[in-house]
């Protein structure tokens, strides 16, 4: 119908022949052109030799360019500098210019070049060295070549660290022999690089705690860093600086860590009622609640919290609370949390005698620490000691200015299991009572003792009354006779009525305090070189001796591994090497 | 291991087969290794002088060995500068340090 087999007959034979001839012609011409081009290139390569006959305009242009470049080089600062260095005359200018031009035309990094010495082909890098003749060297030859003119290596730092760091460590009371543990070094390093850490994995809880301490000290705990600490199965969480965390972060803590038994958060200013309400809704069984400054939480909410935690609560520590926590709130604690074993209340401004009375009803209390600045009557405290004294393991009472000899007498009569005792900042307790406490006391030796600032305060009578007030000679001798064999930490700073004779007696050549590690005898003007050396002799385990305001220390030899803090204008010798003073006069 | 050698050198083997040979006293900086090698403990390690540490790989063990030598050298010195620990290995090193008690 339309396309018939005959249609092929429309193609003319003439057209086919023409096409063929055209194609052959074209191919031939192309081949010819290529050949010519190749010849041209060969020719050009030949004429590129050092002394070319400038024939083509292209060649001339190239030469002109080169001359311009040389002229430019000759005017450059680099040129005059090199010339000056080599002290060349003007006749050598061209030579130098040539050399510099050659250097300039050297292959750039990434290109291939042939080594000037061994002729090997290599890839040029930024580190390729220039050989003696101005060419480049391969890596192997570079190494050999640079061996000669290598600069002196920077001075290697010896095994001593700088003085400032050292002093700062001594002020922290750390004079360590030998290296730090690998664990401690790595934890420090992790803390330094905390922003690069994606997750802690299965770090053991003590490591997590230590990391939290370091990071908190650096104030580095942000909501992002907090995430690293949130592990669903962990039972404890200690964050020592929550200042950068917000309400939603506290929610996140409680939502993620369901099996939490210890919640230890400091500076939690942004914690509000709804965080606790969430905790109550989830019925979390927190056993240890340690919070610093949750001052936005209302009294009503606290009461609900204690009602909810009830008998689970074993340890309660609260710091820095004002209006939100009052006597009524504490009543909720004493009513609901009968199993409380550990109680610490510091700087709670709105609690008073009523709370003190309530504390004495906590039947299982073993550790009590109170630091309340407000005026409190001494009787409730006596009641606490009378009720709970027999089971108390540690007792810390700071700034109870109204407490008197009766308190010490009660401790003597009731306490049987104390290992830590702190009574500080008081000017009523007499030395006689202190001595009486330790004489014939059926309590085993104390390990931690802090009687700092137990002294008479009277600006007009420096020596104090006839009958000594505070921890004075008799009390100190009695204390060391009772507890000397086990004591590890002793703070008698500012107990300035301890006489030289008493110190001599306590640190006599035949006395030994084998476990005493930390001793603070600051602000006692009777401490002199002799007493200090006696202390070193009697306390073989001593690591830290604090002597602020002991001006009679003039020239002492410090044993290895002991940090002495607070001397003024004294000559210190350690291991036969004179030491620089920490506090310069 | 022949008896003349076993008190002077011990070898620590990582889980991927790297072996580090250290003087006996140096290796004993680590409490765990010391207990392993204690002759009275009668562990296989104390007889062969070869401790295979299955939990630690070669890269980490190399750092641990460096630390053992560093610690042994710094014994009885004061003001020892910290050893440089590669930051990327720190987390693994903490685990190893916990295990080896160093």
| Contact call for A186 and B64, based on CB within 8 A | no
Place of tokens 């061209």: A94
Task: List, as one string, the DSSP characters of A329-387.
Answer: HHHHHHHH-TT--EEEEEEETT--HHHHHHHTT-TT--EEEEE--S---HHHHHHHHHH
CA A25 distance to own-chain centroid: 85
Which one of A161, A182, A193 has the shortest CB-CB distance to B97?
A: A182
Going by pLDDT thresholds of 50, 70 and 90, the confidence category of residue A251 is: very high
Which residue range is the domain that position B24 belongs to? 3-100
Residues 146-165 of A with CB under 8 A from B: 157, 159-161
pLDDT digits (tens, 9 = 90+) for A459-482: 888 888 889 999 999 999 999 999
Contact predicate A511/A486, CB 8 Å: no
Look at residue B2 and tell me whether its pLDDT is greater than 50.
no
Terminal-to-terminal C-alpha distance of chain B:
27
Longest dimension (CA), chain A: 146
Q: What is the pLDDT of residue A286?
A: 94
| Contact call for A188 and B87, based on CB within 8 A | no
Highest-pLDDT range among A203-207, A263-267, A454-458: A263-267
Q: What is the pLDDT of residue A512?
A: 95
Helices (H), A441-523: 473-483, 500-506
A227 token code pair: 């995430």
pLDDT digits (tens, 9 = 90+) for A376-411: 999 999 999 999 999 999 999 999 999 999 999 999
Q: CATH number of the domain that B71 lies in? A: 3.30.710.10
Chain A residues lying within 8 Å of B90, measured CB to CB: 186, 189-190, 193
Q: Does B75 touch chain A (CB under 8 A)?
A: yes
Q: What angle do CA A366, A369, A372 make, to 5 degrees?
A: 145
- What is chain A's mean pLDDT, rounded? 86
Helices (H), B7-89: 24-27, 31-37, 44-48, 58-73
Q: Does A174 touch chain B (CB under 8 A)?
A: no
How many domains are there within chain B? 1
Average pLDDT score over residue span A452-460: 90
CA A311, CA A316: separation in Å to the nearest integer?
12
Chain B residues lying within 8 Å of A186, measured CB to CB: 85, 90-91, 93-94, 97
Contact predicate B94/B52, CB 8 Å: no
Lowest mean pLDDT among A298-302, A556-560, B7-11: B7-11
């Amino acid at each position: 119908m339309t396309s018939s087999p005959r249609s092929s007959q429309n193609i003319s034979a003439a057209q086919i022949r023409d096409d063929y001839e055209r194609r052959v012609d074209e191919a031939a011409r192309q081949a010819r052109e290529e050949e010519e081009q190749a010849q041209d290139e060969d020719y050009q390569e030949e004429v590129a030799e050092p002394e070319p006959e400038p024939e083509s305009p292209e060649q001339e242009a190239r030469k002109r360019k080169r001359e311009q470049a040389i002229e430019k080089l000759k005017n450059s600062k680099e040129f005059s500098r090199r010339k000056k260095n080599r002290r060349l005359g003007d006749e050598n200018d061209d030579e130098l210019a040539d050399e510099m031009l050659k250097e300039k035309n050297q292959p750039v990094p990434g290109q291939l070049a042939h080594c000037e010495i061994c002729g090997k082909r290599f890839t040029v890098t930024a580190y390729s060295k220039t050989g003696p003749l101005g060419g480049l060297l391969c890596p192997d030859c570079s190494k050999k070549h640079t061996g000669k003119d290598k600069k002196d290596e920077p001075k290697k730092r010896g095994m001593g660290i700088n003085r400032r760091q050292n002093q700062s460590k001594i002020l922290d009371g750390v004079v360590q022999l030998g290296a730090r543990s690998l664990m401690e070094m790595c934890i420090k390093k992790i803390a330094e690089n905390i922003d690069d850490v994606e997750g802690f994995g299965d770090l053991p809880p003590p490591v997590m705690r230590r990391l939290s301490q370091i990071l908190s000290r650096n104030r580095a705990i942000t909501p992002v860093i907090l995430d690293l600490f949130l592990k669903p199965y962990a039972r404890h969480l200690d964050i020592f600086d929550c200042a950068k965390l917000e309400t939603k972060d506290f929610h996140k803590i409680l939502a993620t860590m369901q099996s939490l038994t210890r919640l230890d958060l400091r500076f939690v200013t942004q914690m509000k009622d709804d965080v606790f309400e969430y905790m109550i809704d989830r019925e979390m069984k927190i056993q240890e609640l340690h919070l610093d400054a949750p001052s936005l939480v209302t009294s009503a909410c606290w009461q609900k919290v204690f009602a909810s935690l009830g008998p689970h609560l074993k340890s309660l520590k609260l710091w820095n609370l004002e209006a939100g926590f009052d006597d009524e709130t504490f009543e909720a604690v004493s009513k609901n949390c009968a199993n409380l074993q550990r109680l610490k209340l510091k700087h709670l401004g709105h609690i008073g005698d009523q709370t003190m009375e309530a504390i004495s009803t906590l039947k299982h209390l073993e550790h009590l620490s109170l630091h309340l600045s407000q005026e409190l009557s001494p009787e409730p405290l006596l009641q606490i000691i009378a009720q709970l004294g027999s089971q108390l393991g540690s007792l810390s009472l700071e700034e109870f200015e109204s407490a008197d000899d009766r308190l010490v007498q009660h401790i003597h009569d009731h306490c049987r299991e104390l290992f830590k005792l702190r009574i500080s900042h008081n000017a009523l307790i007499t030395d006689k009572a202190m001595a009486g406490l330790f004489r014939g006391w059926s309590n085993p030796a104390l390990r931690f003792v802090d009687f700092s600032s137990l002294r008479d305060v009277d600006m007009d009578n420096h020596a104090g009354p006839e009958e000594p007030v505070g921890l004075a000679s008799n009390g100190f001798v009695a204390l060391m006779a009772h507890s000397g064999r086990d004591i590890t930490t002793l703070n008698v700073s500012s107990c300035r009525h301890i006489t030289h004779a008493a110190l001599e007696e306590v640190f006599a050549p035949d006395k030994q305090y084998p476990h005493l590690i930390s001793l603070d005898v600051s602000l006692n003007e009777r401490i002199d070189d002799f007493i200090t050396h006696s202390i070193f002799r009697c306390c073989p385990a001593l690591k830290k001796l604090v002597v602020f305001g002991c001006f009679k220390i003039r020239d002492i030899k410090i044993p290895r591994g002991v940090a002495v803090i607070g001397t003024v204008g004294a000559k210190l010798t350690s291991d036969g090497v004179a030491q620089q003073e920490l506090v310069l006069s | 291991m022949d008896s003349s050698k076993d008190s002077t050198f011990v070898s620590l083997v990582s889980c991927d087969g790297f072996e580090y040979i250290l003087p006996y006293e140096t290796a004993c900086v680590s409490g765990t290794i010391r207990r392993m090698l204690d002759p009275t403990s009668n562990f296989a390690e104390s007889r062969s002088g070869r401790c295979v540490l299955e939990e630690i790989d070669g890269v980490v063990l190399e750092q641990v060995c460096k630390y053992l030598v560093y610690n042994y050298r710094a014994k009885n010195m004061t003001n020892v500068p910290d050893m440089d620990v590669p930051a990327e290995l720190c987390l693994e090193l903490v685990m190893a340090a916990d295990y080896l008690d160093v």
